[in-house]
């Protein structure tokens, strides 16, 4: 279980997250959605431990983030975080990189051999897996970074915009299926951000809608539709929840006559 208790985060003067109280249950997929600049990446960064909130605390499975060396290390063993723009060691091959990440998380060698083969096959990188990462395309880099997160076998995966970064349709399809299947495994939790709600509708068990640093809603897709009073596409529903004045703004625009 991930708990955020009264979390406020700001880098300078203006808070990006404001008094967030949130509990994400173990198991399943939780998506964080919202317009640009509303704090999706910041919220995920706070959960991942990249950012220390100015106020409040984060607890993962009862352990407090940065509470003590032991607590933080135990959390890190259970959490793999994949940022929107990961940096990869360009002179190492994809397979070497996967092995190194696996060893970092104490995965046994025999499991690593097998798992890395399967991951490279999954993301169509069997041939490129033994090439230096510098020769990878943008999308292939994204794939190998995703594979690295998966090889860690962590029960909690935090993905920042996993479907971005030049993933091809085959990669998106593979990742969707992997996320669906992982979410069904006991104890596996996936939290991800997505700018486009339609991508996560079929995956997410819970959707967190952020608006100006606060949680506007946290429910299932059906629950959000009910809350917004809109049975249409999830994108429209999220739009209503995050920017209720959107339709009024359109009316205003046309009332004055488009130029």
Partner 1 sequence: MKAVMKAVIRWFRVVSPPAWSIVLALIFYLIIEGFRQYTLTLDAAVETRKFGDVQSGIVVVLAAAYGAFRGIAFHPASRDDYLNWLALTPWRFPQPLPLGPVQLVAQDLVFLGLFEVLVFDATLFRFLLALVPAVFLFVVCSSWAVCVWHTGPRVAAYQMGFALGATLWVSSWSYLAAGGCAIATYLLCARRLGQSFQAFPWESNRPKRQSEGQAHLPSFRLLSATKEEADLGWAFETLGPRRAERLPLQDRLLLSGLVGWWALAITACLPVEIVRPLAALVSIGFGAFHCVGQVGLYIKTHLPPISFLGRLTTGRWLIPSYDVAILPIVYFVVAVGMGTFLTLPGVDWPVRYVVPVVLTLYLVATNWLIPDLERWRLTCETRISPWRYGMASNQYEQL
Determine which residue in the list 69, 127, 254, 259 makes contact with partner 1, applying CB under 8 A. Answer: 69
Q: Is 135 in the site for partner 1 (CB under 8 A)?
A: no
Instruction: Please name the residue ranges forming H helices in 154-245.
Output: 169-184, 197-200, 221-228, 234-242
Cβ of residue 62: shortest distance to partner 1, in angstroms? 17
Site for partner 1 in 188-247 (CB under 8 A): none
Q: Is 118 in the site for partner 1 (CB under 8 A)?
A: no
Q: Identify whether the C-beta of residue 228 lies closer than 8 Å to the C-beta of residue 53.
A: no
Distance CA 243, CA 235 (A): 12
Cβ of residue 145: shortest distance to partner 1, in angstroms? 8
60 versus 228: smaller Cβ distance to partner 1: 60
Site for partner 1 in 26-65 (CB under 8 A): 37, 41-42, 45, 48-52, 54
Cβ of residue 236: shortest distance to partner 1, in angstroms? 27
Determine which residue in the list 3, 100, 211, 212 makes contact with partner 1, applying CB under 8 A. Answer: 100
Tokens at residue 68, please?
């003590």
Q: Identify whether the C-beta of residue 222 lies closer than 8 Å to the C-beta of residue 48.
A: no
Determine which residue in the list 99, 136, 159, 163 makes contact with partner 1, applying CB under 8 A. Answer: 99
Distance CA 208, CA 191 (A): 10
8 versus 235: smaller Cβ distance to partner 1: 8
Q: Is 101 in the site for partner 1 (CB under 8 A)?
A: yes
Distance CA 50, CA 81 (A): 9
Distance CA 66, CA 256 (A): 54
CA distances from 111 to 11, 108, 152, 167 (A): 41, 5, 11, 27
User: Which residues contact partner 1 by CB under 8 A?
Assistant: 10-14, 16, 37, 41-42, 45, 48-52, 54, 66-69, 72-73, 76-77, 79-89, 92, 96-97, 99-101, 103-106, 148
């Amino acid at each position: 279980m991930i708990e955020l208790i009264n979390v406020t985060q700001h880098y300078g003067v203006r808070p990006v997250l404001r008094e967030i109280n949130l509990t994400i249950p173990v198991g399943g997929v939780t998506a964080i959605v919202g317009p640009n600049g509303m704090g999706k990446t910041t919220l995920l960064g706070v959960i991942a431990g990249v950012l220390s909130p100015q106020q409040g605390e984060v607890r993962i499975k009862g352990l407090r983030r940065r509470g003590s060396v032991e607590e933080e290390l135990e959390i890190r063993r259970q959490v793999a975080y994949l940022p929107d723009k990961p940096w990869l060691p360009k002179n190492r091959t994809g397979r070497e990189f996967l092995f190194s990440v696996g060893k970092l998380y104490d995965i046994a060698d025999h499991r690593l051999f097998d798992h890395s083969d399967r991951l490279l096959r999954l993301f169509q990188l069997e041939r490129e897996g033994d090439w230096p990462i510098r020769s990878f395309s943008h999308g292939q880099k994204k794939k190998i970074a995703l594979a690295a997160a998966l090889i860690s076998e962590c029960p909690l995966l935090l993905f920042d915009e996993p479907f971005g970064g030049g993933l091809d349709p085959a990669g998106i399809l593979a990742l969707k299926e992997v996320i669906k299947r992982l979410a069904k495994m006991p104890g596996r939790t996936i939290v991800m951000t997505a700018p486009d709600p339609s991508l996560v509708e079929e995956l997410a068990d819970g959707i967190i809608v952020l608006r100006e640093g606060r949680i506007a809603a946290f429910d299932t897709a059906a629950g959000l539709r009910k809350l917004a009073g809109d049975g249409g596409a999830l994108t429209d529903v999220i739009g209503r929840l995050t920017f209720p004045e959107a339709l009024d703004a359109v009316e205003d625009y046309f009332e004055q006559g488009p130029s």
